[in-house]
């Protein structure tokens, strides 16, 4: 483990059992302290006030964190307190904004709405229908896959007419082909929609097989806040299974709070992992840190964590023989069978196993934008940890877009050892000044590190193969002027894209509005999926070869 990891250490534990003393974790809890504590910690560097926000596994080390990493802790606290304060207004604004955007769209924009009002023919949006589009969907209305014949080859793999209801076609991805990346970014964007919109696009526009949509439980947030859908390239004898996680929703306070949360849990011999992302996958709850140990121990036939079947329901359940301290000295901590259906990791893994039985030659891809990208890379990480070798052998690749950092350097080394051989399988796309891939911080103060292949696209959509994107922590005086100049260029480019690149690339008024907001905070507008779709389709340089069937 590197020195930065040791310096970050862990904090004071809330448990006294022998089990919890072996755990290593740090939790930043903005709800535990008040504004007065925050003020004293900020202005006077008062240690006691800072400690009121921190919880961890060792008192001495948490005090070191409070002193040595005060500014990083303060950034997380201030942002998350601000987000929590405006959580409800943000949610209500989102509901109103989504309704307004769909009202305009369904009535053919403002003039059409006024005309329909006069005629009494106003079309009223209905949530959770095929016509109700998300805010992200209104930012970029493209739903069709890239049509360039030289990039996307659709062919009959069986040379007959009986293999698929979709014209006996399957996607064949050739080395160096952008088709798979395009499918992944479009699926990542589509994941922001409701299940009916997703199903309609997959079936009728992409001519593929929609498997299912999952609205999954986050035990810490006490709500279903993790969404993911699965598709196959065809309904029989599929070659490709794609899993797409939903990213940070613009008006979801919990999603934004997770992005700015620096809390971590250390998996022995693997590394430190972002605690909020683990909770989003359904792999623990910081209210009882031992739950992470229960989910993240290696699965073995004896001792540790083991898998069994529920005879009555045929679902997986997980149990673990662990010393839980004085209260459960010889007890067994169980993950009930219904957890398979409620949480993202267990639901997706269970469905993936059943799909492999239906499609013997299929490989799978995991993808996601923003928060969805973090979940996309953590999902195979836990599969590796649980020694799900049969599943991992059928992993074709992980493609993420605007993904935040998920763990430390040790975690990166662990994952690269499993995802880089015989060919790289993990590709992390970063567009220009996108703020989110620069979070949480990676510097001498904090330990979060990216890993894997970085495909960096500048504002001219020139692709560069890099170990790390430029300006890896976003803030810096020498980058300040270029960031704002680039934001001005992106606004101009958005206004002329329809003329320079064709009607498919024309940006609407809502997208242009976000570009204007980007003049104040460039990294925010750069995070929009529009930039990633354009980067994949217009990228001017191909440095690496993509894995293929």
Average pLDDT of 268-286? Answer: 91
Domains of the chain: 143-152+171-297+335-477 (3.40.50.1820)
Q: Bridge partners of 306?
A: 319
Report pLDDT digits (tens) over 157-172: 333 333 333 333 444 4
> With 70 as the cut, is the pLDDT of residue 34 above it?
yes
Distance, CA of 504 to CA of 537 (rounded, Å): 11
pLDDT in tens, 113-135: 999 999 989 999 999 999 999 99
Predicted confidence band of residue 9 (pLDDT cuts 50, 70, 90): very low
Asked if pLDDT for residue 476 goes beyond 90, the answer is no
State the pLDDT at residue 3: 44
Q: 383 in helix, strand or coil? A: helix
- Check residues 481 and 306 and name the one with the higher pLDDT: 481
Higher pLDDT, 545 or 199: 199
The yes-or-no verdict on residue 444 having pLDDT over 90 is no
- Count of other CB atoms within 10 angstroms of residue 475: 12
Query: How confident is the model at residue 541, as a pLDDT?
Result: 61
Give the pLDDT confidence score for residue 193 in this predicted structure. Answer: 97
For the ranges 105-119, 171-185, 464-478, the one whose mean pLDDT is highest: 105-119
Which whole number is the average pLDDT over 443-450?
Answer: 70
Grade residue 523 by pLDDT with cuts at 50, 70 and 90. Answer: confident
What pTM does this model have?
0.85
Q: Quick check: 305 pLDDT over 80?
A: no
pLDDT one-digit tens code per residue, 349-360: 999 999 999 999
The pLDDT of residue 165: 34
Residue 322 has pLDDT above 80, yes or no: no
Report the percentage of the chain scoring pLDDT > 90: 51
Q: Is 466 exposed, middle or buried (0-12, 13-18, 19+ CB in 10 A)?
A: middle
In which element (H, E) is residue 368 found? Answer: strand 363-369
Annotated catalytic residues are 370, 434, 527
Q: What is the mean pLDDT of residues 38-42?
A: 90
Q: What is the pLDDT of residue 282?
A: 93
What is d(CA 461, CA 446) in angstroms, rounded to the nearest whole number?
31
pLDDT top residue among 439 and 10: 439
Strand order in the sheet with 54-56: 54-56, 25-28, 264-267, 271-274
Q: Is the pLDDT of residue 304 over 50?
A: no
Highest mean pLDDT among 37-46, 181-190, 419-428: 181-190
301 confidence band (pLDDT: 50, 70, 90): very low
Please give the C-alpha separations between residue 244 and each of 203, 208, 477, 515, in angstroms, as whole numbers.
16, 14, 37, 26
**pLDDT bucket at 449, cuts 50 / 70 / 90:** confident
Q: What is the tens place of the pLDDT at every residue in 171-200?
A: 444 334 678 999 999 999 999 999 999 999
CB 248 within 8 Å of CB 255: yes
Output Rg (C-alpha) for the chain, integer angstroms. 24
- Between 69 and 317, the higher pLDDT residue: 69
pLDDT at 327 over 60: no
């Amino acid at each position: 483990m590197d020195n930065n990891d040791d310096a970050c250490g862990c904090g004071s534990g809330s448990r006294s059992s022998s089990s919890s003393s072996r755990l290593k974790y740090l939790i930043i809890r903005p709800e535990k302290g008040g504004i007065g504590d925050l003020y004293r910690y900020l202005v006077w560097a008062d240690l006691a006030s800072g400690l009121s926000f921190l919880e961890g596994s060792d008192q001495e080390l948490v005090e070191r964190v409070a002193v040595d990493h005060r500014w990083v802790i303060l950034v997380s606290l201030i942002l998350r307190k601000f987000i929590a304060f405006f959580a409800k207004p943000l949610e209500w604004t989102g509901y109103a904004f989504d309704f307004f955007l769909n009202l305009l769209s369904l009535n053919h924009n403002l003039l059409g709405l006024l005309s329909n009002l006069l005629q009494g023919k106003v079309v009223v949006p209905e949530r959770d229908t095929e016509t109700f589009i998300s805010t992200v969907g209104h930012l970029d209305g493209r739903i069709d896959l890239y049509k360039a014949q030289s990039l996307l080859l659709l062919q009959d793999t069986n040379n007959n007419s009986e293999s698929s209801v979709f014209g006996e076609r399957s996607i064949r991805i050739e080395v160096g082909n952008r088709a798979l990346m395009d499918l992944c970014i479009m699926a990542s964007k589509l994941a922001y929609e409701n299940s009916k919109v997703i199903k309609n696009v997959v079936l009728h526009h992409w001519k593929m097989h929609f498997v299912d949509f999952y609205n999954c439980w986050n035990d810490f947030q006490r709500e279903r806040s993790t969404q993911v859908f699965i598709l196959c390239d065809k309904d029989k004898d599929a070659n490709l299974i794609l899993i797409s996680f939903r990213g940070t929703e613009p008006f979801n306070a919990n999603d934004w709070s997770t992005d700015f949360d620096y809390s971590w849990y250390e998996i022995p011999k693997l590394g430190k992992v972002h605690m909020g992302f683990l909770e989003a996958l359904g792999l623990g709850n910081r209210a009882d840190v031992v739950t992470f140990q229960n989910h993240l121990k290696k699965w073995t036939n004896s001792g540790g964590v083991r898998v069994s079947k529920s005879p009555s329901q045929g679902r997986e359940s997980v149990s673990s023989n662990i010393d839980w301290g004085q209260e459960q000295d010889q007890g067994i901590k169980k993950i009930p069978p219904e957890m398979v259906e409620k949480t993202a990791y267990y639901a997706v893994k269970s469905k993936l196993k059943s799909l492999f039985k239906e499609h013997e030659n299929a490989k799978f891809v995991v993808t996601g934008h923003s928060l969805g990208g973090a979940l996309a890379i953590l999902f195979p990480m836990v599969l590796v940890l649980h020694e799900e070798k049969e599943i991992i052998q059928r992993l074709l690749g992980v493609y993420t877009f605007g993904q935040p950092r998920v763990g430390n350097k040790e975690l990166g080394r662990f994952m690269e050892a499993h995802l880089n051989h015989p060919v790289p399988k993990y590709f992390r796309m970063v567009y220009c000044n996108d703020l989110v891939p620069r979070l949480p911080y990676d510097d001498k103060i904090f330990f979060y590190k990216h890993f894997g292949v970085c495909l960096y696209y500048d504002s001219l959509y020139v692709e560069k193969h890099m170990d790390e994107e430029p300006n890896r922590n976003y803030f810096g005086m020498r980058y300040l002027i270029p960031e704002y100049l680039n934001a001005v260029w992106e606004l101009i480019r958005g206004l002329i894209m329809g003329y320079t690149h064709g009607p498919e690339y024309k940006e609407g008024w809502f997208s242009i509005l976000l570009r204007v907001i980007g003049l104040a905070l460039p990294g925010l507008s750069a995070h929009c999926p529009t930039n990633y779709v354009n980067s994949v389709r217009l990228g001017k340089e191909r440095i690496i070869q993509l894995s293929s069937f």
